Structure 1
Amino acid sequence: MKPLTSAIKLTCLKFLVAIMAFLLTLEAGYTQTFQFSGTRQKDAINFLLIKNLIIIPVYINERGPFNFILDTGVGPMIISDPALTDSLKLKDLRVIKIAGLGKGNEIEAFVSRSISARVGKSSIDQIPTAILKEDLFRLSGYVGMPIHGLLGYHFFKSFIVDVKYSSKRLVFFLPDLNRKIKGERIPLEMINDKPYAIVNIESSELGNIPIKVLIDNGASHAISLEILNEKPFPVPSASIPANLGMGLGGPISGNIGRTSTLKIGEFSLKKVLTSFPKYDEVAGKILLKDRNGNLGADVLSRFDIVFDYGDNSMYLRRNSNFKRPFEHDMAGMEVYADGPDIDHYFISRIEPNSPAELSGLEPEDEIVYINFVPATGFTLTEVNRILRAGDGKSVIITVLRQGQLHIKLLKLKQRI
């Protein structure tokens, strides 16, 4: 099956529908936290940063390491690769149904209370876990390396967590260590094990308004705006239709535009790429109606951030990426990785009237050469960087289609 990439929300907007019943059932009476053994109070590990997503090694039931996305937007741990169910020989599994975000129907997942997890020198027993029965999101194809799941709330609530995006280093320590935290404090409101904050946006249509957003470093986009005054968030006139990714139940469509100014604390960001998913595919299915949207990693990765859930706060320090321009795909096509080593690249979708469509590229084409260099010599990150190289730049793409090679000239265009 063709991988389902997810530009707006790798983690399928995180079980926002029907998850309350799941959490109440699964976590009643469970207050486990990650803990260090002995007198240790602090640890640090390196992480990979791909498409703004933090990927860390996690050991499950003392096996691994497995690649997990560290994600403030998830409550229970999620195993997205169902093959782990067999390899870990998991027992005491029961089935639940989860309503999805998108155009499809509900999906099924397993629930387990018999899973332990270890990150660095910290570990937790009986961590609440959902295991997808089908690899719906194809996270490996989206990221370009094997991805086995997502880890969030139970790790963040256990420590004060310093996410050093600038050095790709994760430092986590017990609150009792009483270290001085640097940066501007941003108050958080914890709702259903997820952090929310108030930010301000400014646009020519709306003026300057405060909005409530989920702080979600497991979403690769910059910001997604869904609801305003219990109605669909107004889409700016300067926007383009887009496939925004996958929900639990199917594709999420909408528009992409720009927010002229996004202010979080004392920090202001300009011309921020903004997703506007269709109301009935996202906002209409969200239980929490008083949130306006979702602040993702394309914004958060411009800071080094300390999360202190115990104090309902996060602390921001701008890093070297702060002034990086917000750039959308200039080709109008989505590329995913596949094959035994996840190093073969295919086109999953093409936007109407985009440079990719005008060049004659088609969905399911395999990209075999880029500027006459074998595509297998590039990482998926490098491929996507080439497709955002700059307005007016040309890229020569050689694709394999039904056993024949086709050479196409792709002229990039800044569409928004």
Structure 2
Amino acid sequence: MPAPGKVGFGSAVGIAGALILCVWAFASPAQNPVEPSPSVSEAPASYSAPIELIHDKPYISVMVNGRGPFRFLIDTGTGGQALVSPELADELALPVAGHARLMDPSGVGEQRSDILRVHSLKIAGVEFADIKAIRHRLYGEEDICKGVLGFTLFKDYLFTLDYPGRRLVLTSGVIDPNGGSVLTFRMPDGVPIVPLHIDGQHVEAQVDSGGTGLSLPDSVAARLKFLSTPVEFGRGESLATRFQIKAARLRPDVRLGHYAFKQAFVEINPAFPLVNLGSTPMQHFMVTFDQERMLMRLYSNQKTLHLDASPTPLELNNEPRREASDRKLVPIG
């Protein structure tokens, strides 16, 4: 999501994205350390299932320990295997296997959460076994889904989010470079980071399907020209701070591989160091990730693209919070 924790986008509306698990620390006293990678059962070469787009973000049906299905958010901006809501964790009586530290990209906020042991997650016909999931409130998502599937869960597959076709595809093999644009990425915290070019400047962007729009840090926005002066668009919260979000349309193109966004609508935040590429700009693409070779392939049938403001759940405008939260520990998404 637009950076870890929870970010409110739109007219003072709080929309959750997923949170990025920047630091994992396992502490399980009377047992062996928890392994970070799931095992994957034998499977045919290719699996596919429909995804549901809600406020542009992708959701999928998941069986958890043979029960469900439950709706989960697919979030490439979460650098772990999975998150589960406290409600689902309690319903399924998921056992605690250790503890994790969650840290937002600002490097300031930090929160400690339980690691839960999940026997199996079944997604698109693939069964992932022995999963370590973080127990965490899904701020702004409680009424939409029961959990989050993180990027590294799919490390053993070519992992495709086909936004136009509304499908998740898991397959073996290598990325086909024909007809698209192939970018290298790095993933220091389990989240893919790719190069973008704006007005001749090279910047790095987190690819965050759990987020919504294209969000720029102040340090990048200060070097760019806009069609009009950025104005207040919303407010956000990280694990450590609250901040104002501004928005405007860029004058120069944003270039992502072979593709260009013309006069893109962007959000501007003072809290995080990297550009965040959410699901609204990704709507144009079939996006495939190869974590073994650190490659991402984008395919769209158009080379010049348009990016408007992210959709917002306006019905939440006046909805009160269900319970008070520690101001320092509100995830932003």
Counterparts of 1:12 and 1:44, CA distance in 2: 23
Where does residue 15 of structure 1 map in the other structure?
Answer: 21
Match of 1:138 among 137, 140, 164: 140
Quick check: 1:186 aligned with 2:183?
A: yes
Contact 2:164 2:286 (C-alpha < 8 Å) held by counterparts: yes
Where does residue 171 of structure 2 map in the other structure?
Answer: 173
**How far off is 1:131 after superposition?**
0.6
Where does residue 347 of structure 1 map in the other structure?
Answer: 317
Structure ranking higher on relative contact order (CA contacts 8 Å, 6+ apart)? 2
1:150-202 CA-to-partner distances (Å, cap 9, x unmatched) read 11223331211222111101221123xx5745421111122222111111012
**How far off is 1:117 after superposition?**
1.2
Where does residue 410 of structure 1 map in the other structure?
Answer: none
1:192-217 CA-to-partner distances (Å, cap 9, x unmatched) read 22111111012xxxxx2110111112
Q: Using a 3 Å threshold, how does the CA distance of structure 1 residues 299 and 55 change in structure 2: closer, same or farther? A: same
**How far off is 1:316 after superposition?**
1.3
Q: Which residues in structure 2 correspond to 1:240-319 (within 5 Å)?
A: 240-248=231-239, 251-260=242-251, 261-278=253-270, 282-283=271-272, 292-319=274-301
Q: Using a 3 Å threshold, how does the CA distance of structure 1 residues 201 and 308 change in structure 2: closer, same or farther? A: same
Specify which structure has the higher proportion of helix.
1
Q: Using a 3 Å threshold, how does the CA distance of structure 1 residues 154 and 91 change in structure 2: closer, same or farther? A: same
Counterparts of 2:105 and 2:88, CA distance in 1: 24
Q: Using a 3 Å threshold, how does the CA distance of structure 1 residues 158 and 242 change in structure 2: closer, same or farther? A: same
Counterparts of 2:242 and 2:141, CA distance in 1: 15
1:274-300 CA-to-partner distances (Å, cap 9, x unmatched) read 22212xxx23xxxxxxx6321111212
Q: Using a 3 Å threshold, how does the CA distance of structure 1 residues 28 and 131 change in structure 2: closer, same or farther? A: closer
Higher gyration radius (CA): 1
**How far off is 1:309 after superposition?**
1.6
Where does residue 37 of structure 2 map in the other structure?
Answer: 31
Letter in 2 for 1:257: A
Counterparts of 1:273 and 1:267, CA distance in 2: 16
**How far off is 1:246 after superposition?**
4.0
Where does residue 331 of structure 2 map in the other structure?
Answer: none
Counterparts of 2:62 and 2:138, CA distance in 1: 21
Q: State the SS of the aligned residue for 1:191.
A: coil
Counterparts of 1:321 and 1:67, CA distance in 2: 33
Quick check: 1:163 aligned with 2:165?
A: no
Contact 1:214 1:293 (C-alpha < 8 Å) held by counterparts: yes
Letter in 2 for 1:192: D
Where does residue 208 of structure 2 map in the other structure?
Answer: 216
Gaps of 5+ in 1: 203-207, 284-290, 337-344, 349-362, 365-416
**How far off is 1:324 after superposition?**
4.4
Counterparts of 2:203 and 2:109, CA distance in 1: 30
Where does residue 92 of structure 1 map in the other structure?
Answer: 96
Q: State the SS of the aligned residue for 2:130.
A: coil
Where does residue 70 of structure 1 map in the other structure?
Answer: 74
Where does residue 326 of structure 1 map in the other structure?
Answer: 308
Where does residue 196 of structure 2 map in the other structure?
Answer: 199
Quick check: 1:59 aligned with 2:57?
A: no
Contact 1:5 1:137 (C-alpha < 8 Å) held by counterparts: no
* Matched positions, count: 304
1:107-137 CA-to-partner distances (Å, cap 9, x unmatched) read 44221234421112211222221111xx351
**How far off is 1:225 after superposition?**
2.6
Letter in 2 for 1:117: L
Q: State the SS of the aligned residue for 1:190.
A: coil
Counterparts of 2:126 and 2:62, CA distance in 1: 10
Counterparts of 1:276 and 1:5, CA distance in 2: 12
What is the TM-score when the length of structure 2 is the normalising length?
0.78
Q: State the SS of the aligned residue for 2:93.
A: coil
1:68-93 CA-to-partner distances (Å, cap 9, x unmatched) read 11111112234352111111111135
Counterparts of 1:163 and 1:20, CA distance in 2: 26
Q: Over aligned residues, Cα RMSD in angstroms?
A: 3.4
Where does residue 375 of structure 1 map in the other structure?
Answer: none
**After TM superposition, where is structure 1 displaced by more than 6 Å over at least 4 residues in a row?**
25-28
